[in-house]
Structure 1
Amino acid sequence: MKQGLGTQLRHLIELLDGAVQQSYADAGLDYRPRYTPVMRALAGGQPHSVSQIAESAGISQPAATQTVALMLKEGWLVAQPGPTDARQKLLRLSAQGERLLPQLQACWRATSAAANSLDADLPYPLSETLAHAIAALEQRSFSQRIRDAKE
């Protein structure tokens, strides 16, 4: 029986994230792949709000909020009050995050090279296929496609 799209995508994510997680462990890092968009957004040294991180990283605000909360708890980030509104929290890398950034960047380069290798092995590069799928779903959502299929 052919697997559904959701099942295939979850399996693909498991295969990719598992390998990336293992590469961090092999480098001696206690680090989760989901932290990478936030780390990259803050790697320039400038503090960001959660909404700025979400926009810069291309992730939803709820996803950014959850990830930031985990990263604060694990010591990767520190929060400080905003300069004009103390209720707004600005986030930056902690000393731990700054110290481990070079190791992380080396892992990211290896992951990027591995992704390029995977693209080269496929009849159609996965990165391009995913970009096309995202663009198509931004034009007409999967929810709309489901509704249309019911008619």
Structure 2
Amino acid sequence: MKPGLGTQLRHLIDLLDGAVGAAYEEAGLDYRPRYTPVMRALTQGEARTIGQIAESAGITQPAATQTIALMLKAGLIVSEPGALDGRQKMISLSAQGRALLPQLQQCWQATAAAARSLDEDLPYPLSDALANAIAALRQQSFGERIRAARSKQK
């Protein structure tokens, strides 16, 4: 029996994240792959809110909040109260995070090259298939598709 879509996606993420995580270890970095979207969002230099980071990184706000909490503990970022609203957290790279950027950028370049290599080995680029799937789900969510399938079963 063929595994379901969710099972296949989780397995793919495990394969990709495991290899990327190992590459960071091999480079002597104590760094998790999940930090990358947040780090990239903060490389413009200015402090950002969690919502701005989530939007820029293309991740959900809860995912950004969880990742930021881990990155604060790791010392990669700092959080300060917003100037206009003290309840708002402004997130920026710490000195440790900025110092890590040159090594991270080398790792990111190698990862991008590996992704291009994977795309070349497939009958159609995985990156294109994922972009198309995301666009289709923005048009009609997976939840809507499930509800539509259930209504057809009745």
TM-score, normalising length: structure 2: 0.95
Superposed CA RMSD in Å reads 0.8
Q: Deviations over 1:64-121 (max 9, x none)?
A: 1111011001111111121112211111111110111100011000000000000010
Q: Indicate the residue corresponding to 2:52 in structure 1.
A: 52
Is there any run of 5+ residues in structure 2 with no aligned partner, and where? none
Q: Which moved more, 1:140-149 or 1:19-28?
A: 140-149
User: Number of matched residues?
Assistant: 151
Give the AA of the match of 1:47: A
Matches within 5 A, 1:23-102: 23-102=23-102
Give the AA of the match of 2:15: L
Deviation, 1:45, is: 1.1
Matches within 5 A, 1:3-22: 3-22=3-22
Q: Indicate the residue corresponding to 1:111 in structure 2.
A: 111
CA distance in 2, matches of 1:137, 1:12: 19
Give the AA of the match of 1:46: E
Task: Give the 3-state SS of the residue equivalent to 2:48 in structure 1.
Answer: coil
Give the AA of the match of 2:6: G
After TM superposition, what 4+ stretches of structure 1 lie above 4 angstroms from structure 2? none
Q: Which moved more, 1:48-57 or 1:138-147?
A: 138-147
Give the AA of the match of 1:97: G
Deviation, 1:126, is: 0.1
Q: Which moved more, 1:51-60 or 1:83-92?
A: 83-92
CA distance in 1, matches of 2:114, 2:7: 23
Task: Give the 3-state SS of the residue equivalent to 2:80 in structure 1.
Answer: strand
Task: Give the 3-state SS of the residue equivalent to 1:70 in structure 2.
Answer: helix
CA distance in 2, matches of 1:51, 1:143: 24
Task: Give the 3-state SS of the residue equivalent to 2:34 in structure 1.
Answer: helix
